[in-house]
Amino acid sequence: MASETYKRYSVLVSSTLSFTVCFMIWMMLAVVGIKVQEEMGFNQTQYGILIALPVLSGSLIRVPLGILTDRYGGRIVLFALMMISVPAIFLMSYATHYWHFLIIGLLMGLAGGSFSVGTPYVARWFPKHQQGMAMGVFGAGNAGSAVNKFLAAWLITTYGTWQVVPTVYSAIMLAMAVIFWFTSYHDPKHLVSSSVTLREQLALLKDPGVLRYSQYYSVVFGGYVALA
């Protein structure tokens, strides 16, 4: 039987790698969208909406995903999130109309919500004096957006078509989901009590400190995403 220490670091590594892959997916249209616009003849407004949709859905889903993580645990929530994203990623290769891309973009954006799943999931495996280290390692998964810039561009240049990117990315996401499931763990002690209501979970949003830090986050991370 695996020791607590082994489980702790296995969760950290598998969650960080999963987060990296999820961010690759989340930012995929930042590269692929350029080729899609050229091929499909979308105007600048259509293109802007298209690449913004994954960011929008990935942002709006974060609070609900955080609540689900508290209730059911990060292992099942993150695994389900990755598996749900796989068909949407794959089907982009076969999209032929603008509305196809919009729906797929919304579903792909769910991968961006992985941050609000992995953060509490990983943190709870570590004692307080190690949580800063754990969050620093897990946060490195943001580099997935940079990996996407190199990998997606290389795939398009090598194979001469943007359709290869969703195909390869869907395979990577599926493989990562399977790896994550078999290298991560669940601890019922990390869940909120069943007696805690949804209203009580949301009450934290009234805290001025939480709202202030949310503003900081929106500016800092919003700037990062815009540049990406």
Question: What are 165-203's pLDDT values in tens digits?
Answer: 999 999 999 999 999 999 999 999 999 887 788 888 888
CA distance 151 to 28: 10
CA distance 133 to 12: 10
Looking at the structure, tell me whether residues 224 and 139 fall in a common domain: no
Task: Using alpha carbons, select from 56, 54, 43, 23 the residue that is nearest to residue 143.
Answer: 23
Looking at the structure, tell me whether residues 109 and 213 fall in a common domain: no
Looking at the structure, tell me whether residues 148 and 175 fall in a common domain: yes
Looking at the structure, tell me whether residues 115 and 222 fall in a common domain: no
Looking at the structure, tell me whether residues 51 and 79 fall in a common domain: yes
Looking at the structure, tell me whether residues 174 and 130 fall in a common domain: yes
Looking at the structure, tell me whether residues 212 and 153 fall in a common domain: no
Looking at the structure, tell me whether residues 84 and 158 fall in a common domain: yes
- Provide the residue type at 60 as one letter: L
* Single pTM value for the model: 0.90
Q: What CATH number does the domain containing 157 carry? A: 1.20.1250.20
Q: Which residue has the tokens 């969760």?
A: 11
Looking at the structure, tell me whether residues 173 and 100 fall in a common domain: yes
> How many structural domains compose the chain?
2
CA distance 88 to 77: 18
* Tokens of residue 160, six digits: 């001469």
- Provide the residue type at 51 as one letter: I
30-81 pLDDT, tens per residue?
899 999 999 999 999 999 999 889 888 888 898 899 999 999 999 999 999 9
8 A C-beta contact, residue 132 and residue 85? no
Looking at the structure, tell me whether residues 216 and 112 fall in a common domain: no
pLDDT value of position 109: 87
Looking at the structure, tell me whether residues 45 and 98 fall in a common domain: yes
Task: Using alpha carbons, select from 141, 176, 184 the residue that is nearest to residue 8.
Answer: 184
- Provide the residue type at 97 as one letter: H
pLDDT value of position 202: 82
8 A C-beta contact, residue 208 and residue 120? no
Measured CA angle at 129 (ends 12, 191), to 5 deg: 55
Average pLDDT across the chain, whole number = 91
> Which residues are CB-contacts of 223 (< 8 A; sequence separation ≥ 6)?
none
Looking at the structure, tell me whether residues 121 and 15 fall in a common domain: yes
Boundaries of domain holding 81: 4-192
Q: Is the pLDDT of residue 225 over 80?
A: no
